[in-house]
Amino acid sequence: MADPTPTLFPTSSPLVVAVVESRRGLEMVANLPPGAVDVCELRLDRLGCLPDADTIGSLALPWIATVRDPSEGGDRDFTATRRAPLFQQCVGLAAAIDVELENATARQELIREIQASNSSLILSFHDFQSAPDLKSARTLMRRAVDNGADIFKLAVTPQRPSEIGNLLELLDDPCIPVSLMAMGRWGLAARLLYAACGSVLNYGWVEEPVVSGQWEATELKKQLARVTSTGLTGGG
């Protein structure tokens, strides 16, 4: 791969990310019409390896490299030792690399390499049982900033509708771009709301939902265009 993929930011609008977990998913994304999605996430812990340059080039999209820790939803067979070389292969090639915020201290050498490259650094936090209150979420965001993140990603599982609204304040003039999403019962509604309110990366499935409450990627792109369109007239 001769030229590094351009970085994702700055961007003026929320982006829809197609999550790829298999070879078939790679083919499906490669066959999407232009503009159907904005970004591709390669879940390397599910793919097992970094696809070759020609395969990645066929996607014609910026891509995020993710080698998810089993504690946050990754493949159970991918230990820290197995994940490390996959991360290394992606530095400077991926538009962004997603590292768990909880692993930031242990991954300082990798983070420094990402920061010195053309790749953006996403520091992510996943809560599959609950949603942090706003104060705790801001503390997580500050930790991401302190560890050099370009993007802070927060995926939560609200147990009450009020928790969805409380976290909206993270999108009010954040210190770094925020990718905010919900899982579970209210995931579909909350993801569309957060995307419309400025969540910068909004993830959707290609073959089947990766987690509950997730949109199919191309449908999310269509729905987001509908709710963010301007120029509508008429009464309620």
Give per-residue pLDDT as tens, 3-40.
445 566 656 689 999 999 999 999 999 999 999 999 99
Q: Taking the complete model, does pTM exceed 0.95, yes or no?
A: no
Q: What is the CA radius of gyration of the chain?
A: 17
CATH of the domain spanning 15-225, picked from 3.30.1330.40, 3.20.20.70, 2.60.40.1120, 3.40.50.20: 3.20.20.70
Pairing of strands 120-126, 96-100: parallel
**pLDDT at residue 228 in the model:** 85
pLDDT bucket at 230, cuts 50 / 70 / 90: low
**pLDDT at residue 81 in the model:** 76
How many other C-beta atoms are found inside a 10 Å radius of the C-beta of residue 199? 26
pLDDT bucket at 160, cuts 50 / 70 / 90: very high
How many other C-beta atoms are found inside a 10 Å radius of the C-beta of residue 232? 5
How many other C-beta atoms are found inside a 10 Å radius of the C-beta of residue 236? 2
